[in-house]
Amino acid sequence: MSRAPGTARSVTPGDGETAPREPAGAVRDAVRSAAADGPALAAFLTAGFPEPDRFVDTLRSVASEADVVEVGVPFSDPMADGLTIQRASRAALEAGVTLPWILEGIRSARPAAPVLLMSYLNPLLARGLGTLAEEAAAAGVGGLIVPDLPWEESGELREAVEPRGLGLVQMVTPVTPPDRLATLCAASRGFVYAVTRTGITGAAVDVAPVLSFLDRVRELSPVPVLAGFGVRGPEQVRALADHADGVIVGSALVETLERGEDPVAFLRSLRPTREELR
């Protein structure tokens, strides 16, 4: 990875959902713009996997096709992730990947699409929330997804990141109670992460049972809704297109990178044509 830092994005304090030039607002606007022509595509990759030396190039390639990129911070106990991402996280940790290294890589890459960090809470606490927020904003990160941080316990992190224009994306599931679903949708910044099933990432999702759930989320959410967990092929993207603003592809992309295949070609293959969306 190149050690030369890039130029930090300008950040204006305030609410990311009302200031489009702020990082969280840029994430929201990127999803909305893409969704106007078909489902938006958010792509997840594990930082430093499969080759740490190619992280910057891989990020740039993925960001050239995806509308939003989620950069996964490797963690020793990724409780929401299936075997593919567990394997990728372990390999990245064994290669010496750290949070400061990741942020420097994002800053150096200057990716074409907005970037979010997807991390469990421990690495963020270890870095220090104030330091994390400052470094993430300087790197051009638009927000964070923290799967093991409940909304009720997120105040300290929100106080650190929101003055810098970064937002916390909230995750909802088919078993989220109605009152809590409304709270999380109202609180989410950038987009709402609608988990398509209970359990961990990886296995292909059965789309039909979650469509009514996605419809409820869209009715409640003031920001776009992206469906994730188990989205692996174009047929699922087409089936979800009328019920979400876009999809999140994680394990299938990580497996593509693991096999040494072209991530751009894979992501492009997921996008429905206009005829298919009619």
Catalytic residue annotation? 70, 81
Sort 148 into a burial class: Cβ within 10 Å, 0-12 / 13-18 / 19+. middle
Is residue 223 within 8 A of residue 192, CB to CB? The reply is yes
DSSP per residue, 93-142: HHTT--HHHHHHHHHHH--SS-EEEE--HHHHHHH-HHHHHHHHHHHTEE
Nearest to 272 by CA among 233, 243, 218, 232: 233
- In degrees, rounded to 5, the angle at the alpha carbon of residue 112 between the alpha carbons of residues 54 and 254 is 45
Q: Which amino acid is at 26?
A: A
Closest CA to 190 of 67, 44, 28, 68: 28
Name the residue among 204, 183, 190, 181 with its Cα closest to residue 161: 190
Q: Which residues pair with 118 in a beta bridge?
A: 72, 145
Q: What is the C-alpha to C-alpha distance for residues 242 and 259, in angstroms, rounded to an integer?
A: 32
3-class DSSP state for residue 172?
strand
**Spatial separation of the C-alpha atoms in residues 70 and 68, rounded to whole Å:** 7
CA distances from 74 to 85, 180, 260 (A): 9, 29, 20
**CA-based nearest residue to 158, from 138, 129, 185:** 129
